Amino acid sequence: MQFQSAILAVSLALVAWQATVAIAEAPTPGPSAGEAKHPITADEREFFEASIRPVLVAKCYSCHSAEAKTLRGDLHLDSRAGVATGGATGAVINGNDPDTSTLIQAVRWTDPYLQMPPTEKLTDREIASLERWVQMGAPDPREAVVATIAAKQIDIAAGRQSWSFQPVAQIEPPALPNDAWSKNRIDRFVIAKLNEGQIASSPKAERDMLLRRAYLDLTGLRPTFDEVQAIVNDNAPDAYERVIDKLLAMPQHDERWGRYWLDVVRYGEDNFRGKRPRRRSRSPGVIGIG
Ligand code: HEC
């Protein structure tokens, strides 16, 4: 049946999604101790403080530091270890050679796919300072290894408690001694929760109203006049159930709910990493995972 296969599809999507999340959050090793020149001389320290730190703070930290709202390119430039570790595509400093160091290539804006900072090129002077810094071996007095680099831990046991990993079980609806409201087993769960929150149930909906709600819920569309008339005049006890089956079988039902399921897996029509297509590392279409 269409509805069941849809449910199966969404369950599989959820499981796949959770698995992806689990992989994405698996502990990653923190940066190793900086390979940059260290300890450094007084001159090197002065050069760093006068010409490098101010550039990094003013022009890079907003995207490449622990304070960044979102860390970009997996690159921390706010610690020696972060610079030494590099970013999503590896080391950003190559020995003492500015020309082959990604960090310098990025600030020179010669690579159309990697231009840093993205919105405004550094001044020639700032670029020259960074080049000189690389030639010197990137001496860096910054000690603190940024705390937020610490690997995220995942609690596998807690993850297994998620509802979507529970086996199907027969659950008894709550027993309600003075219940005149429920018409079926699901209603008993509803009324138990309403009682718990001391909330009165809404008044019973007339047939045309009920039909309108079912249509909007399941297909996002309103029923036509003829469809409303058909159910208002249908006195069979299973009239409502038949309408629901019809709605569940409509392609508009799949379209409406497919949209929510795609939100769950964070699908987006977006040319992900469009600025640097050759560096794409994840499948286009599914964005933001990990
Ligand atoms: C407005 C945010 C922003 C600022 C400011 C910024 N960057 Fe970036 N940076 C990014 C983004 C986004 C990426 C990832 C680009 C990609 O993967 O296509 C990146 C990636 C990088 C990379 C490549 C990392 C890798 O391994 O892929 C380097 C090197 C880099 N930036 C250096 C710098 C430097 C140096 C500065 C300061 C002079 C700077 N960035 C400022 C957003 C920024």
How far is the C-alpha of 86 from the C-alpha of 71, rounded, in Å?
13
Pick out the chain residues at pLDDT < 70.
1-38, 144-152, 268-290
3-state secondary structure of 149: helix
- Ligand 1 pocket residue status of 273, Cβ below 6 Å: yes
Domain boundaries of the chain, sorted by first residue: 42-149
d(CA 180, CA 172) in angstroms, rounded, equals 18
219 SS3 class: helix
User: Would you say 264 and 14 are in contact if contact means Cβ atoms under 8 Å apart?
Assistant: yes
- Ligand 1 atom 11: residue of nearest CA: 72
Atom of ligand 1 nearest to the CA of 119: 1
Q: What is the pLDDT of residue 151?
A: 55
276 Cβ below 6 A of ligand 1: yes
Atom of ligand 1 nearest to the CA of 276: 18
Assign residue 234 a region: left if phi > 0, alpha if psi is -120 to 50, beta otherwise?
A: beta
pLDDT recorded at residue 33: 38
Given this model, what pLDDT does residue 24 score?
Answer: 41
The answer, yes or no, to whether any atom of ligand 1 lies below 6 A from the CB of 84, is: no
Distance (Å) from CA 87 to ligand 1 centroid: 9
DSSP summary character for residue 151: P
Pocket mutation for ligand 1, best pick of 51, 59, 72, 276 (most atoms within 8 Å of C-beta):
72
DSSP alpha helix (H) spans, the chain: 2-24, 42-47, 53-55, 80-85, 102-108, 124-135, 156-160, 185-196, 207-219, 225-232, 239-248, 251-264
Q: pLDDT of 210-235, one tens digit each? A: 999 999 999 999 999 999 999 889 98
Whole-number pLDDT of residue 96: 92
Q: Whose CA is nearest to atom 33 of ligand 1?
A: 116
- Ligand 1 centroid to residue 266 C-alpha, Å: 24
Give CA–CA dist 94/135, Å, rounded: 10
Ligand 1 centre and the CA of 67: distance in Å?
Answer: 15
Q: How far apart are the C-alpha atoms of 67 and 61, rounded to whole Å?
A: 7
Q: Token match 């279409």: residue?
A: 285
